[in-house]
Each structure stands twice: as C-alpha cells, then as structure tokens.
Structure 1
Amino acid sequence: MVRKGFFYIRLFVALLTLSTTIPALFPISAQAFTARNLMYGSEGYDVDELQSRLRLLGYYWGNIDGNFGWKTYWAVRTFQYNFGIPVTGEVDMATKLKLVKATPSWHSGSNGTSGSSSSSSSPAASAGGSAGSSSAAATAGSTNFPSSVRGLDQSDLNLMAHVVYGEARGEPFEGQVAIAAVILNRTHSSKFPHSIPGIVYSPGAFSCVDDGQVNLPPDASAKKAVMEAVDGWDPTHGALFYFNPAKTSNAFMWSRPEIITIGHHIFTD
C-alpha cells in the first residue's frame, strides 16, 4: 500500500515537471503561427494571422475573421505562385516561413495594413535570409516622413527609402527618384503585388534585399527622392524594371524595351 502511494506521488511530480518543461521547450503564442497546416475550412487565430499577413502584402482583401474560405485560398495560391512555392492553396511550414519573412513589419493585432511596424512577433521571422532581418528597414528613421501621404504610411515610405539607398546611393538624384518611381509604378500594375512590402520582398525583385543592403539606414537624399516620386515625379516615364548593364547578363532584363538611361541604370517597360 505504501509503495503504491509512492508511485502516485512520483507520477504526480513527473506530470508537474512536464507541465512546466513542455511550454518552455515549445512556447505557444497567439502572435505566431501554430505548427498545423492550414487549408480550406480551417479556423482559428492562426488563420487570422494568415489573412492579416496576406493583406499586408496586398494579396487578400476579405474580412480577417479566422475562417479559411475561398478568398483566403486563392490569396494563398497567388502568394505561393509569386514566391516560387508549390501552388497548393494549403499553408504548410514552408509557406509560413516565406510569409513571415516577407512581412517583417507585421505584428499581432494589426488589421493587415502595412502601417504596423515593430520587431517581428513570430520566432520564425528571423529565420534565414535578409528579408527576415529587415524589420530595421521597416522602422528605422520613419519619423522623418509624414504619417500618411497619398495612401502610403511612414512604414511604406521608409521601406522605399531603404531600397533607394541600397540600390542607388552614388547615383545622381534623378536616378534615386527613378528607383522610387519604379516601386510606385509597380503598385499600379497587375503584374505585381499591390503593397510596398509585397513588391519589395518579392523574391529576386531587388538586389539590395538579396544581399542585405536594404537594412542600411537611408540618407537624407534617399528620403527626399522618395517624397519627390510620391509627389509625382517619374523620370522613368512609367518603367517597371531597371538594371545595371555592367552587372547583369539576365536575358529577361536585356529583352525589355528600353525607355531611358539614368546614371548607371537602364529603365525598361
């Protein structure tokens, strides 16, 4: 009888230990995706996060209601296609990691608008790649911009300035404005996502994102260039692409109709 009592005591201690150890090893947060795959018919706060992140990138415009319906399904498929992931409409871990890396300024409680900026809420956001560490690009120096202008907020403007500085520092001022203008031109094209973060963090879109230079703090010239482009100056005359002919042998870029050359960059349709 005594031995049986000791057995139950040891079992209770073991269960108590597990109850404190497991959460420490596998923390569960309402601000991070769960491990389960998400698919049509899924429900829960992780679907909320999925919808919110997709909206931040301009892929989803339905209600953020935690219900994985057809609008969410097609938004996921479009995201997967644009980011080079197998197009299944199902959100597995590979899709989650890509989505987290593409939305470093997202935080729990945001409604999917790109104005929310903080250090990433999800542990996966820092996993691999320069985009994963680009929360600095989404937040640093944003107070130098107005809170909102022509539908863009401080986070959008600041991210554009990081791209301008990373891609065109050392170029003439007109060339810096041109880079910002290309980003804005892409927001109006059906070929690209309709948000600044979605455009900037699309795979291979900008070399400064690939090599991490997007995280360098922009100077006053880059910030001024962004505001000039937002105010309507487009030296590229509607260009959607550009490249440095001394640095690329990409056949696609060379095949594009040339519009204008500014500094070291050729701007194309």
Structure 2
Amino acid sequence: MENKFKYVWAMIIVVLVNILVISIVTNLGGSVLTLSKVGSQGAEVKSIQTKLRDQGYYKGKIDGIFGSGTKSAVVSFQKAKGLTPDGIAGAKTLKALGLGGSAGAQGGFSSTDVTLLARVTSAESRGEPYSGQVAVAAVILNRIEHPSFPNTLAGVIYQPGAFSCLNDGGINAPVSDSAYKAARDAINGWDPSGGAIYYYNPAKSTSKWIFSRPVITVIGDHRFCS
C-alpha cells in the first residue's frame, strides 16, 4: 500500500511539473525564445536591431546579422536596464526590448512589429488620406499571407527592393501619429486596399511591370493592385 501511495505522489509531481512547463512556454508567447548572439542571423535579429535603433542604442544597418555593432548596442542597452551586460539577447533582454512576451502585443504582433509597420507606413504614405495609409499597411500584411512573399513582417519589409523608403532613408524619418493608428487598424483587420499585394503612385513609378498589375482600387495618389 505504501508503495502505491508513493507511485501516486510521483505521478502527481510529474503532472504538476508538466503543467508548470506548459505555463511558462505559454507566457512566452507559445514558443521558446531564440537566443540571439554574435553570429546569429534572421528576422529576430532585425527586430532586435530595429528596437535598439528606435531607442538610440544602434546606429548600424538593419541587416539581420548579429555582428560586433549589434553586440555593442545590446551591451549598452543591458547596462542601461540593469541587466547582465553579456551582449547576448536572451529572454530577459528580449523582454526588456519588448520582444519577449505577449505584453504590448496586438493581433499576434509585438510592439516592435507595430512600430516597424508604422515606420514603413509613414514613409510610404506620407501626405495620403488616412484610408490610404491603412491600405499601405494592409498591403504589407497581405504579403505575409501570400505565397510569393516572406511569411514574416520583417521578411516582407526587408525583402530587397520591396520598399523605396529603405533605400532613400525615409524609414528613419519621424513617424506620424496617424501611421501608428493606421498600422493598428490594419492589424485589426481593416483593409481598404481590397486584398492588394502591390501599390504604386503612377506619377512617380518607372516600372512598366507594375503598370500591368490589375488595379483593385485607387486611394489618393496610390493605385492598389493584385
């Protein structure tokens, strides 16, 4: 009988441990966080670089490559936040950057994602009517779901040649308040573009190919296409 009780208690402990592990993973957004350090590459590194740049710690190129410049920026950020200055973007550093959990997340996107989407929206649709700004943000989100494009926000935005603001420096300009609101509205499902995956200004575009795309709608100076 005593052995039976010991077995039951052992099983209870195993179940409780499993529940604790599941709870921890869930609180981290449903997946184990990536440990980004020197040599790491990818979308998470781009998000880290973007967040560090937005806070004034990183001055380099947003290239998704964790090099010495990114490490130095991480160390400076860690020192400012009272974290161990090891230059590694582990769970605590990611959380401090706003990348490590569901806090501030919206529609499955982190606060950094919203900021990045707002930056591009502001640069690409400055002077456009508000619905046109939301439409530009929606196009970016539509590309994430389209098989012809990368399946992450950073991947879509940093795809070579995708957005002129990355080449002319427009992405570094001050972000309008309306662009933040437009980014959130698009994330929440408003799509004035009608499902478009391209847009262009016919007065500025020099691409013959883009003129061949079927136009879904026109908002302000932009034509939105499939």
- Give me the TM-score of the superposition, normalised by structure 1: 0.51
Which residue does 2:25 correspond to in 1?
none
Q: Which residue matches 1:173?
A: 130
Q: Which amino acid aligns with 1:32?
A: V
Which residue of structure 2 aligns with residue 63 of structure 1? none
Paired residue for 1:122? 67
Indicate yes or no: 2:181 matched with 1:224. Answer: yes
Q: Which residue of 2 aligns with 1:240?
A: 197
Aligned residue in 2 for 1:105: 47
- What does residue 196 of structure 1 align with? 153
Which residue in 2 is equivalent to 1:160?
117
Instruction: Kindly provide the CA deviation profile for residues 229-257 of structure 1, in whole angstroms up to 9, marking residues without a partner as x.
Output: 11111001100000000001201101111
Amino acid at match of 1:122: G
* Counterpart contact for 2:217–2:225, Cα < 8 Å: yes
Aligned positions of 1:130-149 closer than 5 A: 147-149=104-106
Shift of 1:32: 2.4
Task: Give the equivalent residue in structure 2 for 1:32.
Answer: 38
> C-alpha displacement at 1:184, in angstroms?
0.7
The SS at the match of 1:105 is helix
Match of 1:252 in 2: 209
Runs of 4+ aligned residues of structure 1 deviating over 4 Å after TM superposition are none
Q: In structure 1, the residue corresponding to 2:138 is in which secondary structure?
A: helix
Distance 2:212 2:223 in 1: 12
Deviations 1:119-159 (A, max 9, x none): 4752366xxxxxxxxxxxxxxxx8xxx71111111111100
Consecutive unaligned residues in structure 2, runs of 5 or more: 1-35, 53-57, 61-65, 71-97
Output the CA distance in 1 between the equivalents of 2:152 and 2:48.
Answer: 13
Match of 1:268 in 2: 225
SS of residue paired to 1:260: strand
Distance, in Å, in 2 between the alignment partners of 1:153 and 1:105 is 10
CA contact (8 A) 2:156 2:162 kept: yes
Q: Please give the alpha-carbon distance, in whole angstroms, between the structure 2 residues aligned to 1:180 and 1:105.
A: 18
Q: Deviations over 1:152-207 (max 9, x none)?
A: 11111100000011011111001100010001101111111111111101111011
Superposed CA RMSD: 2.4
Local SS of the residue matching 1:261: strand
Q: Hey, what's the Cα distance between the residues in 1 that align with 2:211 and 2:69?
A: 37
C-alpha distance in 1 between matches for 2:37 and 2:109? 25
* Contact persistence 2:213–2:225 (CA under 8 A): yes
Separation in 2, partners of 1:221, 1:267: 20
TM superposition score normalised by structure 2: 0.61
Partner AA of 1:150 in structure 2? G
What residue number does 2:140 align with? 183
- 2:213 partner amino acid: R
Q: Given residue 128 of structure 2, which amino acid in structure 1 is its aligned partner?
A: E
CA contact (8 A) 2:201 2:222 kept: yes
2:162 aligned with 1:215: no
What letter corresponds to residue 104 of structure 2 in structure 1? S
| Residue type of the alignment partner of 1:268 | C
- State the number of aligned residues: 150
